[in-house]
Amino acid sequence: MNEDQNPDEELNPEGANPQDGHQEDALDAQIIGEDQEDFDSPQTEEGETITRVTGMYREWFLDYASYVILERAVPAIEDGFKPVQRRIMHSMKDLDDGRYNKVANVVGHTMQYHPHGDASIADAMVQLGQKDLLIDTQGNWGNILTGDRAAAARYIEARISKFGLDVVFNPKITKWQSSYDGRRKEPINLPVMFPLLLAQGGEGIAVGLSTKILPHNFIELIDASVKHLQGKRFTIFPDFPTGGIIDVTNYNDGLRGGKIRSRARIGQHDKNTLVITEIPFGTNTGSLIDSILKANEKGKIKIKKIEDNTAADVEILIHIPSGISPDKTIDALYAFTNCESSISPLGCVIEDNKPLFVGVSEMLRRSTDRTVQLIKE
């Protein structure tokens, strides 16, 4: 090393000052800090407010999820209604004079309470009418057996059934709240004096959760309510409007993890003809026939032709070739077509503005206790 050479220069052959690196690091940190400050700033130089995507997820999405769960998809445990169903029933009560009203008129009246489109209200009303419990219908309301849709809302009519008037409404004990625009009053919950949710069933997909409560038999629900009031144990199982045969071994009281199997009722019309007289819940004759034809194309079963004679009752004739065993064909229909389906129930309801996962037995107990309380009021 040269005696006149500075030792630092040997370490920095290009003659750079060792402090220059620290200055560059400090400058980089300053630049990054300024960029971060600009990123976090709620306003630009032009004065426009910036909302970051992270903020949208953190605040807006939570609000949206809560709204869908509480106000659209999941029924309340108190009366068994989703908000749109409750508002439809309230609107029908407003319009009720004993005569039929056009469904389009009811839908328009319901829009005073329900801040969504007319199509969603009409679909919800058709589903209520097809359950044949609260609404007395007139006209073509579709067919749950064939999957045919209802006629347009301007062509069909409805009024509240006698049963609905007796068990759903009582203005004296109904608690009210302002509608979405503050112009009218709507019920918080209707004073339903019957386990309506279990009788009708309910299904909805919200954000982060869903519900699937299966329908139950009207008479069996009443008998179970009486047993509860007598302090006796009871057990209830689903009962489907489409009929069929069900295996409820793993029903699990309608809680998460339960499962039931639903089968079509298949009989032998003659030695070469099978007849389906009841179908599994959640299917219709159209989708059932399509699944049979697809199984035939794949060689899973052998059939000659299918006749659909369904009207008020299901009647599907399946003609099989000579020499084919009817019993083996029935087994194949259950194995390879929609003649057998699996359903996973999930009991989720709204209580005190919170989702509650509860079994059907507990739903019936709470409904019965609430009915007693309403009668006392």
Q: How far apart are CA 117 and CA 33, in angstroms?
A: 48
Q: How far apart are CA 279 and CA 262, in angstroms?
A: 8
The CA-CA-CA angle for residues 142, 120, 159, to 5°, reads 55
The pLDDT of residue 96 is above 60: yes
**Residues catalogued as catalytic:** 155
The CA-CA-CA angle for residues 310, 311, 316, to 5°, reads 10
What the chain holds in terms of domains, given with CATH numbers, is 67-219+347-376 (3.90.199.10), 260-343 (3.30.1360.40)
pLDDT digits (tens, 9 = 90+) for 206-253: 888 899 999 999 999 999 999 999 999 999 999 999 999 999 999 999
The pLDDT of residue 275 is above 90: yes
Average pLDDT score over residue span 332-340: 95
pLDDT digits (tens, 9 = 90+) for 11-34: 344 444 444 444 444 444 444 444
- For residue 199, the model assigns a pLDDT of 95
Confidence of residue 356 (pLDDT cuts 50, 70, 90): very high
In this predicted model, which residue has the larger pLDDT, 41 or 238?
Answer: 238
What is the full DSSP assignment across 199-262? Answer: HH-EEEE-SS-EEEE--B-HHHHHHHHHHHHTT------B--TT--EEEEEE-GGG-TT-EEEE
